[in-house]
Amino acid sequence: MPLVAHTGLPTFDRLRLEGETVLPKDFALQQEIRELHIGLLNMMPDAALEATERQFFRLIGESNQIAQFYLHPFTLDELKRNKAGQAHVDEHYETFDQIKEGGLDALIITGANVTGPELSTQPFWDPLIEVVDWAYDNVTSTLCSCLATHAVMEFRYKQKRRHLDNKRWGVFSHSVIDRKHPLTIGVNTRFDVPHSRFNQVDREQFEQANLHVLVESEEAGIHLAVSEDLFRLVLFQGHPEYDVISLLKEYKREVVRFSKGEIEEYPPFPQYYFSKQTEAILSEHMEQVVSAIESGSEIPEFPEKLITPGLDNTWHDTAEAVINNWIGTVYQITNIDRTKPFRITVDPNDPLGLR
């Protein structure tokens, strides 16, 4: 939570110039500990629907803000689901109309599975634009994950993602470009982030859109950027919400697809994720799978239980820190009445002094 400048101590001014949140005493006295309502537009397919809920709910719940968090999951009717997935949505999710009626302090939008190269032909395209446009005028800040970022970059900023020659897949090292922004204050200046995507929006495109880059990787590109007002839109290309086993589950899925003949090439290892020992185990398993296919024998069981204990999570603490900063900033600048339109103004003499 923020410091309160209850005296004229110069240290308060110095810390604020460094990017720390320091409230004037008269402003702090008007505040009350209160609830925050955060929406989760979950566009993930049925197999990942509940796991994605847990990942983002966990990040919110582990933040150290003194507030009561109400999480409001919803999805889009245009995304077709199987019987179990639809039953889960029907029982536990709200409708977009209910979301608009109650209002939100903040919104998270997940990625989604797509078919074909054009995002504008996907069933979620038009309803997603409606949600983002509503949130832009009525919600303090909207955080977009991976494909949601690509969609927003295309329909709001006219910057289409480009297809990569190879899948950007693994855990990559990143550096903080702006250390004084509210989202990166106090965060490690170098940290890891998982990525899993076939497409990318490049730095030049973020700059052409007048967006502000906060975190970047030499290998994986831009991870975190914010809108021109510095906070209304928060854009991730990576997946800081991933569990330690998320990339393993993706790798296993691709191995199973190869075993069934759905893809022609055996999947490569996600980069910088497995240890050398784990890669040796998986290489041996690959040889066994290929041999079984050639001989027509039973496919060997994937050695998941053997591998899982050796996986390292090198990104979750930093993900917590960024989300905690996000929530803290939302808490300080959001409207008390969340059903009223929200506006952010930026002091030209203090660009990070969001009001």
Residues with catalytic function: 146, 239, 241
Beta strand 3-5 with 22-24 is parallel
Q: Which amino acid is at 7?
A: T
Q: Are 248 and 308 spatial neighbours (Cβ–Cβ below 8 Å)?
A: yes
Q: Are 281 and 251 spatial neighbours (Cβ–Cβ below 8 Å)?
A: no
Roughly what angle, to the nearest 10 degrees, separates helices 46-61 and 83-92?
Answer: 30
CA 296 vs. chain centroid, Å, equals: 42
Q: Which residues pair with 168 in a beta bridge?
A: 197
Beta strand 68-74 with 35-41 is parallel
Q: In 193-245, which residue ranges form alpha helices assigned H by DSSP?
A: 203-208
Please state, in angstroms and as integers, the Cα–Cα distance from residue 94 to each residue in 40, 64, 125, 256, following that order.
Answer: 10, 27, 20, 34
Residue 43 burial by Cβ neighbours in a 10 Å radius (0-12, 13-18, 19+): buried
Q: Where are the beta strands (DSSP E) in the chain?
A: 3-5, 22-24, 35-41, 68-74, 106-109, 141-145, 162-176, 190-200, 212-217, 221-226, 233-236, 346-347, 350-354
Please state, in angstroms and as integers, the Cα–Cα distance from residue 215 to each residue in 194, 199, 203, 325, following that order.
Answer: 13, 18, 11, 14
